[in-house]
Amino acid sequence: MPPTEVLVPLRWSDMDAYGHVNNVQFLRLLEDARVLGLPRWFPQGGYLLDQGIVVARHEIEYLAPMDYRSEPIAVDLWVTRIGGAAFDLGYVVRDAAGPDRAAPGAADVGVTTATVYAVAETSMALYDFAAAGPRRMTRGERMALDAQRGESVPFRRRR
Amino acid sequence: MPPTEVLVPLRWSDMDAYGHVNNVQFLRLLEDARVLGLPRWFPQGGYLLDQGIVVARHEIEYLAPMDYRSEPIAVDLWVTRIGGAAFDLGYVVRDAAGPDRAAPGAADVGVTTATVYAVAETSMALYDFAAAGPRRMTRGERMALDAQRGESVPFRRRR
Amino acid sequence: MPPTEVLVPLRWSDMDAYGHVNNVQFLRLLEDARVLGLPRWFPQGGYLLDQGIVVARHEIEYLAPMDYRSEPIAVDLWVTRIGGAAFDLGYVVRDAAGPDRAAPGAADVGVTTATVYAVAETSMALYDFAAAGPRRMTRGERMALDAQRGESVPFRRRR
Amino acid sequence: MPPTEVLVPLRWSDMDAYGHVNNVQFLRLLEDARVLGLPRWFPQGGYLLDQGIVVARHEIEYLAPMDYRSEPIAVDLWVTRIGGAAFDLGYVVRDAAGPDRAAPGAADVGVTTATVYAVAETSMALYDFAAAGPRRMTRGERMALDAQRGESVPFRRRR
């Protein structure tokens, strides 16, 4: 299963005093990529977001400065690990494909010149808000996440 | 050298719809911890922030939900690695010490009941804005950073 | 000339601890409405944003609580006043039209059940960044803005 | 009763791509001025924030560009109007007094050279979250607010 492509709009205010999209705002973009993308993995509803998941960990590498543009950027979203009460998400933050963002004819041959701005990974812990504690993954959740499993995040600088 | 303690005020808007400080805002707090804390390491001025440093990588683990309070939280800030053109910072995000945040008598014996909310690490790359490229660390910068060197960040879930 | 309709995406983080879009974030949405909408009024480029405009004043009334949704909201944008070195913009923040946001058949008869969340007005001052001071509106700018002129903002509580 | 002075810390991220504190962030500063300042008017607790108040209207004029600084700015906060189920707050956003922000000897003679960055007014409506509707002001609330009543906000450009 290829990653899920989520288009995430930028805001002018994502830029900081250096005139580029601020490094913290990248995490904000990933948040919206999850909010927009995860429901697609649970088309029959009742998915885990309703029951509660919390962010337990983030890791992100910045590869290129991102400038503000009025068109959305693309975030590839997939599952990198599934545990008993947690799972990890991988992300690639890149230019969305489009006639103005690739060389002429590139799309025809599956080639893209899109810039990759960041790669990242988030650990999500399943949470039971009612019981105020962690909870086990259900069989249905595991099956839905397993269908989205992909490769490790291509970090360059992981310690 | 013990870590530098930086007091960082919260904002009411750091809370998200779940009523806790949002996970992305923790990175915002670390940003201000750097802005407030790094200049103290370069008391004679001319420190590296003037010349340009950019964030190359973040890693953060969330250990406890943080509630909004009108008093600042404390961020311990230190150096975990020094390279030729980069360095890593470690952080512990915790309650600031204070009579209302520790058991009676605790301060007298050096014991604190402060909650640790997160541990994190940031890789900073030295940058030459004029040349629009990376630059080597100067001898003075290295000496100043070396004086702040400490242990590894106590991550629990590092992949 | 009817107002320019600008579609502005929400972010999950626009919600505050009360679970609604935060009142300050409404101003953030207006910012993006300007960034996305004003260039449409200057299709030949060279428009005033390039030369510098600054916000001199905001006035906003909140009419209904807005919930987060993954679809954009609509901002109607028009000109309410033109001065020698400044102009005012009017806004209506409302649900975007759509089959799921209006009663059956409503669109056929031009009726909409869209909620209006806020009305607002911003005074923009023309600014010369190079000279670090105000500047006069050009004839071309005046003509472009004059084509977008509309009625006063329907404030209810203006003092 | 003179206005209540509330010290509000800035964040580095309050700056936008123009390198000044962003106009929308001024409203964010006013939010924290309310959160920090209003409880002081209700020293015995049980004050209206517990019961619910919502922002119904903002008006703000920008008078000078504000640069980021590590020290807090000052917000003067007072009551400009009291209604049956609502009240208005006035604000002046200015440099905090201090030895480095006034001419030598100025403090001795009550003179300050502090810059005023903005003046603003917010209408707050009393809200009953349980009943999901407006509510009347209590006698105790009215007395507490009446003690903070001051002059009109010195707007220059009110329409």
Q: Is the confidence at residue A114, as pLDDT, over 50?
A: yes
Look at residue B158 in the predicted model and tell me its pLDDT: 75
Portion of chain C with pLDDT greater than 70, in percent: 85
Contact B28 D13 (CB under 8 A): yes
Given a contact as 3+ CB pairs under 8 Å, which chains touch B? A, C, D
Average pLDDT, chain A: 88
Domain residue ranges in chain D? 4-146
Report chain B's mean pLDDT, rounded to a whole number.
88
Q: Does domain A4-146 have CATH number 3.50.50.60?
A: no
Q: Is C127:C134 a contact under the CB 8 Å cutoff?
A: yes
The pLDDT confidence band at residue B1, using thresholds 50, 70 and 90, is: confident
pLDDT of A55 above 70: yes
The pLDDT confidence band at residue D158, using thresholds 50, 70 and 90, is: confident
**Closest by Cβ to D57, choosing from C28, C55, C157:** C157
A111 pLDDT more than 80: no
Three-state SS string over A62-84 comes to: ECCCCCCCCCCEEEEEEEEEECC
Where is pLDDT greater, at A47 or B1?
Answer: B1
pLDDT band at D47 (very low <50, low <70, confident <90, very high): low
Cα of A22 to nearest chain D Cα, Å: 9
pLDDT digits 0-9 by tens, D4-19: 999 999 999 999 999 9
Q: What is the DSSP string of chain B?
A: -PPEEEEE---GGGB-TTSSB-HHHHHHHHHHHHHHHGGGG-TTS--HHHH-EEEEEEEEEE-S-----SSPEEEEEEEEEE-SSEEEEEEEEEPPP-TTSS-TTTGGGT---PPEEEEEEEEEEEEETTTTEE-PPPHHHHHHHHTTB-PPP--SS--
**Which pLDDT belongs to residue B45?**
67
CB atoms within 10 A of CB C45: 7
The per-residue pLDDT for range C101-144, each reduced to its tens digit, is 444 554 555 555 689 999 999 999 998 878 888 889 988 889 99
Q: Tell me what the mean pLDDT of segment D86-112 comes to.
A: 71
pLDDT exceeds cutoff 70 at C48: no
Average pLDDT over residues B28-53: 83
pLDDT tens for each residue of B100-136 = 544 455 455 555 568 999 999 999 999 887 888 888 9
**Which has more pLDDT, D128 or C17?**
C17
Rounded Cα distance between D72 and D63, Å, is 18
What pTM does this model have?
0.92
* Best B10, B11, B15, B68 residue to mutate vs chain D (most D CBs within 10 Å): B11
Question: Which of these ranges, D45-49, D70-74, D116-120, has the smallest mean pLDDT?
Answer: D45-49
Q: What is the tens place of the pLDDT at every residue in C60-110? A: 999 999 999 999 999 999 999 999 999 999 999 999 976 454 445 545 555
Contact C33, A9 (CB under 8 A): no
Judging contacts by C-beta atoms under 8 Å, the chain A residues touching residue C67 are none
Q: Which one has a higher pLDDT value, A53 or B58?
A: B58
Mean pLDDT of the region D95-100: 72
Decide: A126 and A51 in contact? Cβ < 8 Å: yes
Amino acid occupying residue C68: Y
Inform me whether the pLDDT recorded for A73 exceeds 60: yes
Q: What whole-number distance in Å separates Cα of residue B159 and Cα of residue D119?
A: 51
Phi, psi angle pair for D5, to nearest 5°: -90, 120
Chain A residues touching residue D24 (CB < 8 angstroms): 13
Those residues with Cβ within 8 angstroms of residue B124's Cβ, 6 or more apart along the chain or in another chain: B53, B54, B55, B56, B86, B87, B88, B89
User: What subunits make at least 3 CB pairs under 8 angstroms with A?
Assistant: B, C, D
Maximum CA pair distance of chain A?
56
- Which ipTM did the prediction report? 0.90
A21, A66 contact by CB (below 8 A): yes
Residue of A nearest to D20 (CA): A17
Query: Which residue in B92, B118, B123, B82 sits closest to B5, CA to CA?
Result: B92
Q: What is the pLDDT of residue C140?
A: 87
Shortest distance between the Cα of B105 and any Cα of chain A, in A, equals 31
Q: Which of B12, B19, B22 sits opposite C13 (nearest CB)?
A: B22
> Which chain C positions have a beta carbon within 8 Å of A36's beta carbon?
70
DSSP B101: S
The C-alpha of A24 sits at a distance from chain D's nearest C-alpha, in angstroms, of: 10
Interface test with C, best of D14, D21, D23 (most C CBs within 10 A): D23
pLDDT top residue among B51 and A138: A138
Tell me the shortest Cα–Cα distance from B12 to chain C, in angstroms: 9
Chain D residues contacting B, CB < 8 Å? 9, 11-13, 28, 31-32, 35-36, 70
Question: What pLDDT is recorded for position D102?
Answer: 47
